[in-house]
Structure 1
């Protein structure tokens, strides 16, 4: 069983998509490409692809890579009614093992959102070098999680989770997840994509208590099978969230970090 089995519905419905400013930043990297191709790694249920659709021309091609076939099926279900002339192909393989069938395949933009920490962080840029067009850009991005944000309600929620599961960040059925000892910038600097620019984009996000609970069901550190009394946990979490909500809304202010990396000496 993979880490995110049986959470496709919650992942698709409650995981936030990209902020508009991030979408525009990525779209700028595709400007001028006649038939732009986007390769999304750790695609989940298609949050990046769905966010990008509005700025992609009808000629655009998208490849979604994820180890979880169920999530990719859900991604296609979400994408198909919205594609227009665009195409979306899914690949149920680890990111570093992606190998296009087309002999002259070249991708313009390679994205990885909230997922790079789960991957082989040396092998993924090497794969990107093999499939990337000469001016390809790699975008490693993320905005933390409900566990790391510093709003009053997220701090209280984290305390409740830790009271059930301990202070270590849980991952999977029995393990824990340690923070990486190496920055993503260092991984990219050691790759072909060593020309790196960091963008920090502020965002505001609104949640309801129920949407927070739905999102928690999709997240590795608080998924239902970690909690012996999940129903009791959700009842306490809902009470806590209602106490912190203002007019039934929970506000989150955060920063979306985007690392844009390209091969030295190349510009679009």
Structure 2
């Protein structure tokens, strides 16, 4: 269970500071991988005696943790993230549940990931499943898919997953919350230290259609989540669109306004988010189904 030796890719200091501040909050407040999605991923590995997982943008290790529970025979995990602090959190989360599965934490951008050369006498363990959950929109998608084609097993599966965020979800309380954030930060959706978020120029499906991974199936999993106002505030502190540093000295005032707004919209102290967790499963043409 090691980080690779040598120089690490560096984020701009202000971005690494955002990740460092949010790492513990990610583990506590970010929704995990739905059980139905974990079972779907497990199905993609069915029949493989010692499967290998490559998780890109692993964050606090939510996907590996879900797969360790759903795939008892999982043999090895490569967990990749640009933030060293997120990898620290992933290590702490995964270490107690690894069992006999091995783990390598890789500090790199997803598109520059490369597997270590095997030791003499050992076979190369190519990933059977390449996953990216709630992170693909931050990546150089075509380069990531080309990397996956280079490193993954011939019959591997790529899974791109996500369910948006409380910024993109439309219901009465999330719309009111978004309007409040915009009153403080301006009309555009912030992207942390990068400024205003820019939508990808094409869809994930279009990226896959232009890659080696053209055998595509889409799975939509309805999700009903219940939040407390305190949990929503904790979640917002981990986001690129409403993290504390974006507000500066006005963050306490924003949280007071947001808390009052959320309590006004809550029913019996709860706020409901009805959303859909989408899983795109893609294989190379002719790969295993």
- TM superposition score category, shorter chain reference: over 0.9
- Cα RMSD of the aligned pairs, angstroms, is 1.2
- Distance in 2 (alpha carbons) for counterparts of 1:212 and 1:88: 32
Question: Is it true that 1:38 corresponds to 2:58 in the alignment?
Answer: no
Tell me the equivalent position of 2:251: 230
- Residue number among 54, 57, 62 corresponding to 2:72 in the alignment: 57
- Distance in 2 (alpha carbons) for counterparts of 1:245 and 1:88: 41
Q: Give the Å deviation of 1:59.
A: 4.4
Question: Is it true that 1:252 corresponds to 2:273 in the alignment?
Answer: yes
- Residue number among 173, 182, 187 corresponding to 2:202 in the alignment: 182
Asked if the contact 1:139/1:260 (under 8 Å) is kept, the reply is: yes
- Distance in 1 (alpha carbons) for counterparts of 2:283 and 2:187: 38
Tell me the equivalent position of 1:76: 91
- Distance in 2 (alpha carbons) for counterparts of 1:62 and 1:152: 40
Tell me the equivalent position of 1:24: 39
- 1:241-265 Cα shifts (integer Å, max 9, x gaps): 1111111111110011111110001
Asked if the contact 1:153/1:241 (under 8 Å) is kept, the reply is: yes
Compare 243-252 and 218-227 and name the one that shifted more: 243-252
Tell me the equivalent position of 2:6: none
Please report the TM-score for the alignment, with normalisation by the length of structure 2. 0.90
- Distance in 2 (alpha carbons) for counterparts of 1:49 and 1:246: 34
- Distance in 1 (alpha carbons) for counterparts of 2:22 and 2:65: 18
Q: Give the Å deviation of 1:151.
A: 2.1
- The count of aligned residue pairs is 268
Asked if the contact 1:58/1:84 (under 8 Å) is kept, the reply is: no
Unaligned 5+ segments in structure 2 are: 1-12, 119-123
What secondary structure is seen at the aligned counterpart in 1 of 2:267? Answer: coil
- Distance in 2 (alpha carbons) for counterparts of 1:206 and 1:172: 26
- Distance in 2 (alpha carbons) for counterparts of 1:168 and 1:214: 22
What secondary structure is seen at the aligned counterpart in 2 of 1:176? Answer: coil
Q: Give the Å deviation of 1:85.
A: 1.6
- Distance in 2 (alpha carbons) for counterparts of 1:128 and 1:59: 19
Asked if the contact 2:68/2:74 (under 8 Å) is kept, the reply is: no
- 1:25-55 Cα shifts (integer Å, max 9, x gaps): 1110011110011111011111111222211
Question: Is it true that 1:92 corresponds to 2:107 in the alignment?
Answer: yes
Question: Is it true that 1:160 corresponds to 2:175 in the alignment?
Answer: no
- Distance in 1 (alpha carbons) for counterparts of 2:68 and 2:287: 26
- Distance in 2 (alpha carbons) for counterparts of 1:137 and 1:183: 19
Please report the TM-score for the alignment, with normalisation by the length of structure 1. 0.97
Tell me the equivalent position of 1:121: 141
Asked if the contact 2:52/2:125 (under 8 Å) is kept, the reply is: no
Where in structure 1 do 4 or more consecutive aligned residues deviate above 2 Å?
2-5
- 1:198-247 Cα shifts (integer Å, max 9, x gaps): 11111111111111111111110101010130011011111111111111
Asked if the contact 1:40/1:111 (under 8 Å) is kept, the reply is: yes
Q: Give the Å deviation of 1:174.
A: 5.5
